[in-house]
Amino acid sequence: MSLQRIAIPERIITHGVLVAGAIIFSFPFLWMLSTSVKTPREMATERLQLAPKTPRPQFRSPYIDTDQYPQPEQPDGVPEKVWAVALPRMEARLGEIVDKWRPQTVGPDDNPPPAPTPPGERRREMIEGILDTLRGRLSDEARGKALAVEKSLRATADKSAILPHDSALMKSLSDEAIAQGAAALLSDVDRLADETMLRQVFEDCYRRLALGQVRVRTKDYVFHALFTGSEWRVAQGPAALVTRIETATPVQEARIEFAPGAETVTFEFEPATTAS
């Protein structure tokens, strides 16, 4: 009877360890399954996410992906009190920059302009995108400005005083230290939010369908282009094609505006052929 009592706890522990091990070692398999249905953008993100994003049907192309960037997060090294003051000022300043900016994707300066998108969606997503990008580019001086000012103020007031640890000091910052810390972050915004960053952020949230070069492969694995990139045409439906440059390659950007119950859009091309 005593042996049976001992065996029951052992079985529970053994099966518990086996179940835990199965869960742990099944994670790589689940990760492999999830990545097989993710887009390249989801694979390139720094944020770990097991499940792919749920597709959201759109009634137009191009459009702004309002889920591309997360809500602004507090950068490492920036005190919470400074971030609370700096964030609305940074958003206001970036709003002014985005409002004055002429939208353009990454590529040549003479690239035709992107398709018009709702200004409100573009503005909000670009502000979030720039703030997300700035988190990793803010200077150490700007991050630690408030703390440095607070130390200087306290040392000036009482040179013999022993300053508390930095973590404790961040929680008791003076108004002047907070103001100078927020000003330093705002200065970094003006310095870093340049044309290159604006284009890259817009590129990441500007979703579009682009028709490019069609190639065929022969039996000896030689690729042949059937057209140069400008022979696509709209065969049916409410759409237009605009030739633009994508990663140094000419493509035709499809501009589609569906309405409820709209007909199907069809694109076609006729490859050039030569007599052999």
φ/ψ (deg, to 5) at 47: -85, 125
Binned at pLDDT 50, 70 and 90, residue 225 comes out as: confident
- d(CA 175, CA 187) in angstroms, rounded, equals 18
List, in sequence order, the alpha helices (H) in 62-165: 80-100, 119-134, 140-143, 145-157
The answer to which of 88-92, 95-99, 206-210, 216-220 has the lowest mean pLDDT is 216-220
Q: Show Cβ contacts of residue 268 under 8 Å, excluding neighbours closer than 6 positions.
A: 232, 233, 235
Evaluate if residue 254 carries a pLDDT over 50. Answer: yes
The H or E element spanning position 34 is: helix 2-35
Evaluate if residue 1 carries a pLDDT over 60. Answer: no
Binned at pLDDT 50, 70 and 90, residue 162 comes out as: low
The answer to which of 30-34, 82-86, 103-107 has the lowest mean pLDDT is 30-34
250 versus 114: which is more confidently predicted?
114
**The two three-digit tokens of residue 214, written as one number:** 């069609």
The answer to which of 17-26, 127-136, 225-234 has the lowest mean pLDDT is 225-234
Q: What pLDDT was estimated at residue 272?
A: 66
- Burial class, 130, CB count within 10 angstroms (exposed 0-12 / middle 13-18 / buried 19+): buried
Binned at pLDDT 50, 70 and 90, residue 151 comes out as: confident
- Residue 191's SS3 state is helix
Provide mean pLDDT across the span 59-79. 91
- d(CA 28, CA 59) in angstroms, rounded, equals 36
Binned at pLDDT 50, 70 and 90, residue 157 comes out as: confident
Binned at pLDDT 50, 70 and 90, residue 127 comes out as: very high
Q: Show contacts of 134-139: CB within 8 Å, 24+ apart.
A: 134/75, 134/188, 134/189, 134/192, 134/193, 135/73, 135/75, 135/76, 137/188, 137/192, 138/75, 138/78, 138/185, 138/188, 138/192, 139/188
17 versus 274: which is more confidently predicted?
17
Residue that has been written with the tokens 């003076």 in this structure: 174
Provide mean pLDDT across the span 234-238. 88
Residue that has been written with the tokens 């353009």 in this structure: 104
The answer to which of 104-113, 119-128, 151-160 has the lowest mean pLDDT is 151-160
**The two three-digit tokens of residue 94, written as one number:** 């970036």
Provide mean pLDDT across the span 182-191. 96
Average pLDDT of the chain is 85
Q: What pTM did the predictor assign?
A: 0.79
Q: 216: which strand partners?
A: 224
Provide mean pLDDT across the span 234-257. 89
The answer to which of 61-75, 196-210, 224-238 has the lowest mean pLDDT is 224-238
Domain boundaries, the chain: 2-44, 60-206, 208-268
Q: 246: which strand partners?
A: 249
Q: What pLDDT was estimated at residue 238?
A: 86
Q: Show Cβ contacts of residue 107 under 8 Å, excluding neighbours closer than 6 positions.
A: 244, 245, 246, 247, 248
Q: What pLDDT was estimated at residue 189?
A: 96
